[in-house]
Amino acid sequence: MEFKVTIADPLEHPCRALVVGCFEGEVRTPLLSRLDESLGGCLTGFYERREFTGKLNKTRLVHTLGRLPAEQILFVGLGKQDELTRDKVRQAAGTAMQSLRPSGVRSISTLLHMTDGGTNEMLQAAVEGALLGGYSFNRYKTKDEDPTSIEEVTLLFPDTAAASRGESVVNEAQTLCNAALLARDLVSQPANVATPAYLAENALEMCGKYGITCRIMERDDMERNAMEALLAVAKGSQQPPKFIILEYLPAGKEISPTVLVGKGVTFDSGGISLKPREGMEKMKSDMAGAAAVLGTLQAVAALKLPLNLVGLIPTAENLPGGNAYKPGDLIRSMSGQTIEVVNTDAEGRLLLCDALHYAQRYDPAAIIDVATLTGACVVALGDVVTGLMGNDESLKSAIKKAGDASGERVWELPLWEEYGEIMKSDIADMKNAGGPGAGTISAGGFLQQFVGKVPWVHLDIAGTAWEEKGRPYLPKGATGVGVRLLVEYLRELA
Ligand code: BES
Ligand code: MN
Ligand code: ZN
């Protein structure tokens, strides 16, 4: 999708479709009054008859029949004027894209960003909503049955000053969203395509384009590094595991980097502790954490943020092959801590624990891991919000703030000492799974054993990585969650 910035009066701007935001119950804004007048009172009529009243995400498409240079106008509800938020603008923009798709229009113009006096934040939100809401993954459709996608969006501005300010905001929002869409593409790929080797190749390719250093550790490198936990998970599959290391270090050697760690299980069958068959196909998305880390590095490098950032992606496939690791097995993790495997389906924490330990060699300022870690998180929080745990108040609150700003919200769960009991093992330092209670927290507590004293946050995206039904700017499927959240956090940090 291309974005264009144009200086134009919306009443004199020819286009196939013009998107205009409307507040609930309010038709008397200068722009709406003028449009209404040109359209012979059509909008006032909608409001009076309550056909369209500006409620959030409600739309009304009007053909102008030559009364205006714009062929059609799509009115989109923004809700009450004094309750407008960035996320509502994102939603309205996403709604507009999705509702215009069946009309076959390939290029549209929009005024959604000007609702709040055209602040940079609202403009960014309007671009994000359009890009994220207009996304679809149709790489494997051989027949043209899908409605066409919108390829060009023109943003209208009143004057040169606004337009040139707008241009840079639009460019940055596009850079950011392209990274989120990279994450969506990777997660949407089926697991027979997106193997650990595929993730490694994609990482190398992306890093080549954006000037990031990328290194791939192979199985024998992992053996030399005694990453037994990561290796154990990979044993049941023919696909060799990879440990992907991305380094973006423009800020100099003296500055400690932030290290991001992403779970990259390209398919999670559960292993010998096999998952039930219903919905197992969704477990191709068990590398959404890895995708979020790749996307974040791409965005940070493309935006040239002046900070040091490292991405670590342990990636493997969890299958019940003849050589698979088994319940009861004993693993010595890279950190030296021993783990009794009681459930091979609790594989994510095993991959992650070696990566978290490996992260220590960077003497990191902070570690943030992102993982589709527990079904319990979906039970607790659904698909609305990402679970957050951590050991550092200021890091946690910075991430929460970034969550609110980006619309990728997070909700904290406690890591109190009492929960530590759950993972006690009779024969090892810990076991890899506890009982039925507090599954998300016990997983977070497990990871905590491997981060030492470094400020650390764990993000459980099991619920938020995949959208079941489709929302205004989250079409059905992969959401790319984590990229916009982390880039927002890192932008504030820089
Ligand atoms: N990848 C799953 C978690 C998951 C479940 C993600 C549903 C997305 C949707 C993870 O590896 C897993 O299987 N976790 C187990 C842990 C348990 C065995 C302690 C779970 O949640 O059941
Ligand atoms: Mn699992
Ligand atoms: Zn998993």
Question: Are residues 414 and 271 part of one domain?
Answer: yes
Q: What angle do CA 124, 471, 467 make, to 5 degrees?
A: 110
- CB of 268 closer than 6 A to ligand 1? yes
- What is the Cα–Cα distance from 217 to 241, expressed in whole angstroms? 9
Q: Is residue 285 one of the residues assigned to a domain?
A: yes
Its sign, for the CA torsion 444, 390, 493, 364, is negative
> In the structure, what pLDDT confidence band is assigned to residue 457 with cuts at 50, 70 and 90?
very high
What are 195-208's pLDDT values in tens digits? 999 999 999 999 99
Q: Is residue 168 one of the residues assigned to a domain?
A: no
- CB of 477 closer than 6 A to ligand 1? no
Question: Are residues 332 and 206 part of one domain?
Answer: yes
Q: Is residue 174 one of the residues assigned to a domain?
A: no
Question: Are residues 193 and 122 part of one domain?
Answer: no
Q: Is residue 335 one of the residues assigned to a domain?
A: yes
The catalytic position among 60, 88, 184, 349 is 349
- What's the confidence (pLDDT) of residue 113? 82
Determine the distance separating the centroid of ligand 1 and the alpha carbon of 190, expressed in angstroms: 19
What are 233-290's pLDDT values in tens digits? 999 999 999 999 999 999 999 999 999 999 999 999 999 999 999 999 999 999 999 9
Atom of ligand 1 nearest to the CA of 433: 19
For residue 431, give the CATH number of its domain: 3.40.630.10
Query: Residue 117: is its pLDDT beyond 90?
Result: no
Question: Are residues 114 and 39 part of one domain?
Answer: yes
Give the C-alpha distances (Å, rounded to integers) separating 327 from 11, 102, 331.
69, 51, 11
Q: Is residue 170 one of the residues assigned to a domain?
A: no
- What's the confidence (pLDDT) of residue 149? 84
Question: Are residues 411 and 489 part of one domain?
Answer: yes
Question: Are residues 137 and 216 part of one domain?
Answer: no
Query: What is the DSSP-derived secondary structure letter of residue 419?
Result: G
CA atoms within 13 A on the CB side of 369: 37
- CB of 287 closer than 6 A to ligand 1? no
Amino acid (1-letter code) at residue 228: E
- CB of 280 closer than 6 A to ligand 1? no
Determine the distance separating the centroid of ligand 3 and the alpha carbon of 285, expressed in angstroms: 9
Question: Are residues 55 and 151 part of one domain?
Answer: yes
Looking at 119, 141, 156, the residue that finishes a domain is: 156
For residue 146, give the CATH number of its domain: 3.40.220.10
Q: Report yes or no: 103 and 94 within 8 Å, Cβ to Cβ.
A: no
Q: Decide: pTM greater than 0.95.
A: yes
Residue-range definition of the domain harbouring residue 136: 2-156
Which has the closest alpha carbon to 369: 481, 479, 293? 293
Looking at 156, 171, 197, the residue that finishes a domain is: 156
Q: Report yes or no: 108 and 150 within 8 Å, Cβ to Cβ.
A: yes
Task: Specify the number of domains making up the chain.
Answer: 2
- CB of 439 closer than 6 A to ligand 1? yes
- What is the Cα–Cα distance from 344 to 96, expressed in whole angstroms? 44
209 is catalytic: no
Query: Residue 144: is its pLDDT beyond 80?
Result: no
Q: Is residue 259 one of the residues assigned to a domain?
A: yes
> In the structure, what pLDDT confidence band is assigned to residue 114 with cuts at 50, 70 and 90?
confident
What are 434-455's pLDDT values in tens digits? 999 999 999 999 999 999 999 9
Question: Beta strands 15-22 and 107-110: pairing type?
Answer: parallel
Question: Are residues 96 and 188 part of one domain?
Answer: no
326 is catalytic: no
- Which residues are 412's β-sheet partners? 388
Question: Are residues 228 and 129 part of one domain?
Answer: no
Question: Are residues 387 and 288 part of one domain?
Answer: yes
Question: Are residues 444 and 337 part of one domain?
Answer: yes
Lowest average pLDDT, out of 19-23, 146-150, 258-262, 354-358, goes to 146-150
Overall average pLDDT of the 15-32 stretch:
95
Query: Residue 423: is its pLDDT beyond 70?
Result: yes
Question: Are residues 258 and 130 part of one domain?
Answer: no
Q: Tell which one of 187, 267, 345, 432 to mutate to probe ligand 1, the residue whose CB is within 8 A of the most ligand atoms.
A: 345
Looking at 156, 191, 226, the residue that finishes a domain is: 156
Residue owning the nearest CA to atom 7 of ligand 1: 375
Q: Is residue 169 one of the residues assigned to a domain?
A: no
Give the C-alpha distances (Å, rounded to integers) separating 296 from 179, 340, 438.
7, 34, 30
Q: Is residue 366 one of the residues assigned to a domain?
A: yes
- CB of 345 closer than 6 A to ligand 1? yes
Atom of ligand 1 nearest to the CA of 343: 18
